A and B are shown apart, each in its own frame.
Chain A
Amino acid sequence: MLLKTLPADKERIIVPGPAGFMPPSAAQLGVELPPSGVGIAYGHHTPEDIAIAEIARQMLTKPNATIFPGPMVLWAWNEHAVEKAQAVMEIAAQIPNVFIIPMPDYRPKYPKVDPEEVINPNHPNLTIWGNKIEACIFVGLHCHYANLTLKMIRAGTNCCTSALCAEQGHEDAMLSVHDMDVAKLRKVAQIIKRVREEMKIPLPADGRTVRYTGLQSRVNGGETHVNPLSFKLASPPPSGVRMPPEGQKPH
């Protein structure tokens, strides 16, 4: 059933945890992925814009809000990936003090991981705990690994998770929007801008909205923040990468 508003608190199924030692998956709780144009808010199908506005409110108000970019927007595989990454930066430009912590790949990090600097699908809870993150957006991950990550975060942390998915979405996220192409990512940025302005949350005058993690600060000369729109690609994507025909672009 498609709700016209956010579900009431008592009707919410998928909410920030800790949900317990071994909580059932959202699918086990009967949450299904929605059709095109419909998002998921707390286990219920809602119009996409309502889910995006709730993502905005969570990211603008919860402590240590973080964007977790996955390999498909983190690496310049091709021009499409670069365009998407730039759209993600436009989202970051609307959220004051946001962290950007990458999920560069899915491999376990032996012998030691630095969970405050990277997130990994084998122990995403460590990154959430270490940075005291209470709201986050995942974007650019392969769906299987996003789902593992979302389940573990819901089980063990109090973080409100959002997924911006190029495919069918994620029922284990508290908030999920799917079919994410470049245009829709830019729409997310615009809705966050609108909500931010309604909430009268100003942007820093210099546009430096992204807060560096400890390591990011150290490698950037002790700077604490950066303007995400100042990011420039060091070099164009490799010319040998074949671009699929229009309509078959990789997510």
Chain B
Amino acid sequence: MSDPLESEVKTNPQGDPITSVEPEQKTNPQGDPITSAAPVKVGGGSKDPHEGAKKQRVVTPEYMFSEAPRKREFITGSEAAKEAVRRSNVDFSVAYPITPQSETMQLIGVLYGEGYVKEYYRGEEEYGVMSAIAGGSRAGVRCFTATAGPGTLRGVEPIASWPGHRLPAVAMFTCRVVNAPLAIQPDNIEVAYLLHCGMIVFHAENQQDLFDFIMKGFIISEKNDVTLPVGVACDGFFVTHARAYVDMQEKDIKLPPREAWKGAVPVLDAENPPARLSRDAPVQKSNFMAYNIHAVWQQEVWAAVERSRRYIEQYMGGLCTAENVEGAEAVIIASGSACAQSREAIRLCKDQKVNVGLIKIRSLRPFPIKELRRLCAKAKLIVIPEFNYVGWLAKDVAAAIYGYSNAKIVAGPHVYGGMSMPVEMIVDEVIGGLTGKKSITVPDSAIMGRDVSQAEVAHFMQNI
């Protein structure tokens, strides 16, 4: 006669006893619970892995962004991106792995396994990935991808064709060094290549921004008068791999699906060959084309970028935010992780009794030109810290406010090639700019201002 207790010992198909039926709560090395990983269930194998996805209900963007209750979690940027995609009713996602994006797209794969993303695969490389996004978007489905650094540049030809094809999609750029020499660390030079594609470009400061910008990006991207891709850039590692608190809506709600028939262009007609991934015309200029066909096409893409402003206002609360700018002795203008560094620099300046304001640029395209002209009208000193060598943000700021502000613009400090930005560097530029001490930032420092020859300034402006 068998021991009745023995019958309660569960075994696997091979007869080995299963000693634990409840999974242990996973934690990171600091002991924080890892909340984004689905708990491993032992037994109960018949449970539908797509159950959660199937139970999601569609809510309006207005409810999702403004009214839905949120819960705070301590997660990485990659996990924040995953959670944004979970709630965004994404049909199709494809990517090729590259540091520091790999974890993000691996987590999108988890979402695919859970049924939150309908189609997912690893592309052959970034050119193929971005071309696949073009095909998916043209076919009328909601698409998401992510890449970084050299991957961005490898994909930039098809990426640059998305706006001309009027293809809504969201692409996340986890910025890193562009080779060579090979490095994988933070540097946002790749944003400079994206600014002139005709796509909308947001720059996330932190994990919360990343979560919000991705979700809002889908809705803005698909507005009929926009119908453009949205790029959501963040600084790799600082945002993707670090943890921060992110306020998120419940997992059981999602955005409405893409309504492709409402787009500014027809979707791909795959039932009537020849189905072409390229938009009709202009094939080339000829006697059968107006001389300005491609020119007005480009105008239309950039007009669509302009039209996105009102939706960025509506859903994101503006293209930029301003903190303590009125009456400040100096203003720091920054985007991405440089904002976070700037906040600490402002605190250090305050300790020295120097009152400094911050303008955080959320949207790089469209660029907040009118906002900066208004905010900087009375500024005396503007400091623009950046995580790249070339100072793409400083050039945009200078071009935007030229003629509208007499402020001296310090294009720096700059760090690049994977360096971090000590906040003391920003403080040094602020104090140096106010006291007249020579800036350590070369060569773009003091490109505008009262102590510079106007002829030199005009020459600079004409050549940027």
B-binding residues in A (CB < 8 A):
21-22, 24-28, 32-33, 71, 105-113, 121-126, 142-145, 147-148, 151-152, 155-156, 167-168, 171-172, 244, 248, 250-251
Contact = CB atoms under 8 A, between A and B. Distances in A.
Contacts of B14: none
A147 B303 contact: yes
B302 A148 contact: no
User: Interface size bucket, B side?
Assistant: 20 to 34
A152 B296 contact: yes
Interface string B282-311: 110000111011011101101100110010
B436 to A, nearest CB: 39
Nearest to B284: A108
Interface stretch (B190-198, B260-268, B330-338): B260-268
Given A106-B281, A144-B227, A27 B303 contact: yes
A148 B288 contact: no
Contact of B288 (A71, A105, A108, A248): A108
Nearest to A30: B306
A250 B302 CA distance: 26
B225 interface: yes
Nearest to B299: A25
B259 interface: yes
Contact of A148 (B224, B296, B307): B296
Listed residue (A106, A142, A171) with the most chain B CB atoms within 10 angstroms of its CB: A142
A234 to B, nearest CB: 20
A123 B303 contact: no
A248 B261 CA distance: 10
B210 to A, nearest CB: 29
A168 B296 contact: no
Given A25-B303, A28-B299, A142 B264 contact: yes
B166 interface: yes
Contacts of B22: none
B367 to A, nearest CB: 14
Given A143-B225, A251-B262, A33 B307 contact: yes
A145 B288 contact: no
A123 B289 contact: yes
A25 B281 contact: no
B280 interface: yes
A22 B295 CA distance: 8
Contacts of A26: 303
A106 B297 contact: no
Given A107-B280, A144-B166, A250 B261 contact: yes
B280 A152 contact: no
Interface string B229-270: 000000000000000000000000000000101111110000
A88 B227 CA distance: 27
A167 B300 contact: no
Contact of A142 (B265, B283, B290, B296): B265
Contacts of B259: 248
Contacts of B266: 71, 106, 142
B293 A122 contact: yes
Nearest to B280: A107
Given A25-B302, A107-B280, A151 B296 contact: yes
A125 B289 CA distance: 10
A123 B300 contact: no
B288 A110 contact: yes
A167 B263 CA distance: 9
Contacts of B281: 106-108, 121-122
B59 to A, nearest CB: 16
Contacts of B290: 122-126, 152, 156
Nearest to A148: B296
Given A108-B282, A123-B293, A251-B262, A27 B288 contact: no
A177 to B, nearest CB: 15
Listed residue (A26, A123, A155) with the most chain B CB atoms within 10 angstroms of its CB: A123
A6 B41 CA distance: 69
A250 B265 CA distance: 13
Given A21-B292, A25-B300, A147-B264, 13 more contacts: A22-B292, A24-B299, A26-B303, A32-B307, A33-B225, A105-B280, A123-B290, A142-B264, A143-B225, A143-B264, A148-B293, A155-B296, A248-B259
Contact of B264 (A122, A144, A250): A144
A163 to B, nearest CB: 12
Given A143-B224, A171-B303, A108 B280 contact: yes
15 contacts: A25-B300, A27-B307, A33-B310, A109-B288, A110-B288, A121-B281, A122-B282, A123-B289, A143-B264, A144-B166, A148-B297, A152-B290, A167-B264, A168-B225, A251-B262
B220 to A, nearest CB: 13
Nearest to A107: B280
A155 B262 CA distance: 28
A123 B268 CA distance: 23
A126 B281 CA distance: 16
A167 B225 contact: yes
Interface string B209-228: 00000000000000011010
Contacts of A24: 299
Interface in B176-190: none
Contacts of B224: 143, 167-168
Given A112-B288, A122-B289, A248-B259, A106 B264 contact: no
B280 A106 contact: yes
A3 B272 CA distance: 47
Nearest to A125: B290
A68 to B, nearest CB: 16
Nearest to B293: A122
Nearest to B309: A32
Contacts of A112: 288
Contacts of A124: 290
A128 B261 CA distance: 29
Contacts of B225: 33, 143, 167-168
B307 A151 contact: no
A33 B289 CA distance: 28
Contact of B303 (A28, A110, A152, A167): A28
A49 B240 CA distance: 52
Contacts of A105: 280
B302 A113 contact: no
Contacts of B283: 108
